[in-house]
Structure 1
Amino acid sequence: MNLSSFNFLKNWQPENEQFAVVGLGRFGRAVCATLHSLRYEVLAVDRDEKLVNQALTDRIADHVVCLDTTEPSALKEAGLFEFDIVIVAIGNYLAESIITTLNLKEGGVKHIVAKASSEVHVKLLKKVGADRVVFPEREMGCELARSLTRPRILDQFELDPDHSIVEIAVPEKFEGKTLAELDLRKSYGISVLAVGEPSNLHINPAPSAQLKNGLVMVVLGSNRDLDRLPL
């Protein structure tokens, strides 16, 4: 999922949140750079000194540390147990990924997001305590399929396997009508969170808000109900 393009989330950024990212491969670097650009405090970690030095040179995080995350004492000394959210981006090293996730959970980290490289990896990460597991390759494939078959969906954030928040261009069928007239909760089982231009969304729009060509909607619902929205 492309965090930098998910524009409407920027309006709801939580305050005073710190992130640590373990693993500075392509995925980890992208997460670091995006969070850092959104002005969150980010600690980047990797055991490869070359990757650490590159992150320092590129300034993709506030702090960058070289350490072995399979050692609980090293994690504690670096202060990772004190972070609100830790992203374990070690997708290609199964044992290191699992041990790191387990160490962080046992160290008291509130929320751990871990990258998986296979379905088995997903199951193992969940068993050792990952609060959320992402499988970028699978998610990118699903996103491509959606973009080809439902082009009006501009972006999608999966809350769980069955529910999502989506940003969608106003369907032609809805143009000229108000939210009260459409009654989307009754007709489609979805909730409208925001309406407006892509760069100027109005959160919690009034029932009298009229939908027009060129506007976008941010809606919440089950994936089954969202799929019933007109193209």
Structure 2
Amino acid sequence: MVDFGAMFFRGRGVKISQQFAVIGLGRFGRGVCETLHGMGYEVLGSDNQERLVNQVLQEHIVNHAIQLDSTDPQALKEAGLFEFETVIVAIGNHLDASVITTLNLKEAGVPNVVAKASSEVHKKLLERVGADRVVFPEYEAGCELARSLTRPAILDWFDLDPEKSIVEIKVPEAFHNRTVAEVELRTRYGLNLIALRFDDKFEINPSPSQKLNKGDIMVVIGANNDIDRFLRSQHIC
């Protein structure tokens, strides 16, 4: 198999900000590749198993794919992985390979390394070797499912950190035909309305005089405690 990825990315000498590398082509890594590729980004996938490399190429969910041992710094360098702005380490089930790969990338100066963890110990080790972000896909999916089952008015929830989030919420019935100023989100609940979605379009930073209607979607940012307080007050949870 010809390493087209290595041919394309090697030796550019500049950081690649509009392209992503994904190391590990299991279920999680494939999902990342498919989503990024579908959004129009250039994606380089890699794995130590030739079968998985060939599979993502056949399914056209990457632009390039390389078979390599990511625990070998020289292999990463020759493949051009060190030139990427963002590399996703999707090796969640092999702790040693995950940690060593992350260490190799950070020591080589990759600015943004996102790594998948399978346990709290794994997470701590990844953070110790410099991972910029650690994700728990199964845990996060479980949290999202629980929220969707218990709070159907919440369409999406994005954690900024353990204490603050951005959420998409259906406009409560009590807010119908009232303006942004009249509902007093910031004063009463400590939340900031950053966007409003209606008629298949987004209104960023809606004006205080903007009317809210049942069926519209509010995008708000704030502390989780304040979000929960707002949801309880509107009988959303």
Whether TM exceeds 0.5 here: the answer is yes
Structure 2 spans left out of the alignment, 5+ residues: 1-15
Determine the structure 1 residue equivalent to 2:8: none
1:1-231 aligned within 5 A? 17-197=18-198, 199-229=200-230, 230=234, 231=236
Q: Deviations over 1:60-89 (max 9, x none)?
A: 011111111001111111111111111111
Letter in 2 for 1:120: V
Q: What amino acid does structure 1 have at the position aligned with 2:44?
A: L
| 2:170–2:217 CA contact under 8 A, matched in 1 | yes
Match of 2:163, as an amino acid?
A: D
In 1, distance between residues paired with 2:58 and 2:199?
34
- Give the number of the structure whose alpha-carbon radius of gyration is greater: 2
- The TM-score with structure 2 as length reference comes to 0.88
Of 101-110 and 182-191, the range deviating more from structure 2: 182-191
- CA offsets per residue over residues 79-111 of structure 1, 9 Å max, x none? 111111111110001000000011111111111
Q: Structure 1, unaligned stretches of length 5 or more?
A: 1-14
Aligned pairs, number: 217
Distance of aligned partners of 1:139 and 1:37 in 2 relative to their CA distance in 1, 3 Å threshold: same
Cα separation, 2, equivalents of 1:198 and 1:168: 16
Q: Judge conservation of contact 2:22–2:44 (CA < 8 Å) in 1.
A: yes
CA distance in 1, matches of 2:98, 2:161: 22
Q: Distance in 1 between matches of 2:116 and 2:99?
A: 10
- The aligned amino acid for 1:121 is H
Q: Percent identity?
A: 62
Query: Residues of 2 paired with 1:197 and 1:35: CA distance?
Result: 26
SS in 2 for 1:104: helix
Q: 1:41 to 1:177 in 2, by over 3 A?
A: same
What letter corresponds to residue 200 of structure 2 in structure 1?
Answer: S
Shift of 1:183: 2.1
Whichever residue aligns with residue 206 of structure 1, its letter is S
What amino acid sits opposite 1:65 in the alignment? I
Distance 1:34 1:43 in 2: 13
Q: Which amino acid aligns with 1:158?
A: D
